[in-house]
Amino acid sequence: MLKAAGIAGKTDLLGFSDGAYTVPAFGAAYPAQTAKIVAIGAGKWKRGFIQGSGKQHTPFADIEQADPAYRLAQQTVRPDPQRTAQWFADTLKTYDNAAIGKETFANIAAPVLYIVGEDDANAPPDTVIAAYRTTPHADLSVIANAQHPAFIANFPAVWAVVELFLNGGKGGK
């Protein structure tokens, strides 16, 4: 991917949510290509973890009812909109079987900045702290009164720690 983009050597990586799970995995697998990692809204993920309430998955029919605009948008972007509910079920199965933990975090050679919203239900702070504690060269920043998209709740605070981290300073703690 980096080669196709014309990027030689190491590069900084930033990911949010699913992307924030991807960049540590990339960093662990490809240390020669990874300079620094910023992971916003991702931490230790145990098999079977359910985002949000942590109790049970929301049925797709409930999501359709709660957000008709989402349903309509899905019908316009999907090649087979009648299969959207199946796609949703398959995605939940993937999440249910996913796991990222010490075996990944402990093998990251690059410096990592973990950022989490104080009220993040998708990546609860305790899971992000667990990732931080098992990553050799890690910093942590908790954004007060922010949910999962912490950068939307308080972009100036998030950008301040990201910029400091990328420029060689500590981004958290």
Residues 6+ apart with CB under 8 A from 136: 106, 108, 109
d(CA 36, CA 112) in angstroms, rounded, equals 6
Q: Is the pLDDT of residue 52 over 70?
A: no
Largest CA distance in the chain: 50
Average pLDDT, the chain: 88
Tokens of 22: 């991807």
Cα atoms in the Cβ-side hemisphere of radius 13 Å centred on 120: 29
pLDDT band at residue 141 using 50, 70 and 90 as cut-offs: very high
Per-residue confidence at 144, pLDDT binned at 50, 70, 90? very high
- Fill in the amino acid letter for 50: I
Are the CB atoms for 41 and 14 separated by under 8 Å?
Answer: no
pLDDT for position 75: 82
Q: Do residues 143 and 117 lie in contact, with contact meaning Cβ atoms separated by under 8 Å?
A: yes
Q: How far apart are CA 132 and CA 24, in angstroms?
A: 11
Q: What are the beta bridge partners of residue 112?
A: 37, 138
Amino acid at 142: V
Count, residues in the chain = 173
The pLDDT value recorded for residue 50 is 67
Kindly list the domain boundaries of the chain, sorted by start residue. 11-46+99-166, 60-96
CB atoms within 10 A of CB 112: 26
**Second-level CATH architecture of 11-46+99-166:** 3-Layer(aba) Sandwich (3.40)
Percent of the chain with pLDDT over 90: 57
